[in-house]
Amino acid sequence: MAQFQRISRSKCFDGFQEIYSFFSKELQCTTRFSIYIPPKVNRENPAPVLYWLSGLTCTEENFIIKSGFQRYAAELDLVVVGPDTSPRGCNIDGEDKDYDFGTGAGFYVDATTEKYRDHYRMYSYVVRELPTVIEENFPVIPGLRSISGHSMGGHGALICSMKNPGLYKSVSAFAPISNPMVSPWGQKCFKGYLGENNQEEWKHWDATELISQYNGPDLHLMIDQGSEDEYMDHLFPENFVEACRKYSIPLDYNYRDGYNHSYYFVGTFIGQHLKMHSEVLKSSK
């Protein structure tokens, strides 16, 4: 742990909510992540891990402050890790200009455009580098991991699991950007990170496109979507639901009457998501 710096540590539901920073090789910058260690989890009693991916504008802090997940993670003996949503401070011209591109909007892809390809590698960071760091340094069971996220992070969770059959034992999402190729948010980021005239490449990072190719074990896939979501025209959950139906992919889809896009929605149902992940992870031991 010599290369780590602990930023904060707070007792919460008898466990500890911590934030660390370290230099990421994939992102080529110093980055932060949050980790919650439940009370009964330690070196002698390691636990499975849920990775949580946050949405546009978030850091590693929003979810740990706003969702109240710690109560459930403490009950379920589930370690929960949350990366930042992009590299930061990379001195790329224009990086800090918009809320929905660049800083705070890494979109969980590996960029190929000249400006962004050296730093904006959130996909490889989330799928490979961060789990290695976590498994080497914290009391977790290697290989026993699931993934979830909100909005842009819901998109990230979906593509990370579908692009790596079996790597995550279960996947869930709150109001995910389900078909970014047709979403204004998705198109803006795909243009900037993957190139404007590169739609074939875009398909490799779009959940609704990927699901038609999926050929692996049961994803254990759960999605919650609020009916009053104010960003519905960026999300296209109906396209993903239809693709799952068409390709016979099991999906537990919960359309929640009256809920919007906020963390009030996430906080209401996060307990049900953690319970699902915990059950799948325990049965995968």
Given a contact cutoff of 8 angstroms between Cβ atoms, the answer to whether 57 and 42 are in contact is no
Q: Which of 226, 229, 234, 236 binds a copy of itself (CB under 8 A)?
A: 226
Euclidean distance between CA atoms 61 and 158, whole angstroms? 21
User: Which one of 28, 46, 68, 275 is in contact with a copy of itself (CB under 8 A)?
Assistant: 68
Nearest approach, Cβ of residue 102 and a copy of itself (Å)? 25
CB 278, CB 243: distance < 8 Å: no
What's the CA gap between 154 and 156, in Å, rounded? 5
Element (H, E) at 110: none
Q: Is 151 a catalytic residue?
A: yes
Nearer residue to a copy of itself within complex by CB, 62 or 179: 62
Q: Establish if 71 lies at the interface with a copy of itself (CB under 8 A).
A: yes
Pattern 238-257, a copy of itself, x by CB under 8 A: ------------------x-
Which residue, 17 or 179, has its beta carbon nearer to a copy of itself? 17
Neighbouring CB atoms inside 10 A of 82's CB total 29
Active site residue: 151, 170, 172, 178, which one? Answer: 151
Q: Which residues pair with 22 in a beta bridge?
A: 31
Nearer to a copy of itself (CB atom), residue 66 or residue 163: 66
Site string for a copy of itself, 176-215 (x = CB under 8 A): ----------------------------------------
Distance CA 131, CA 222 (A): 22
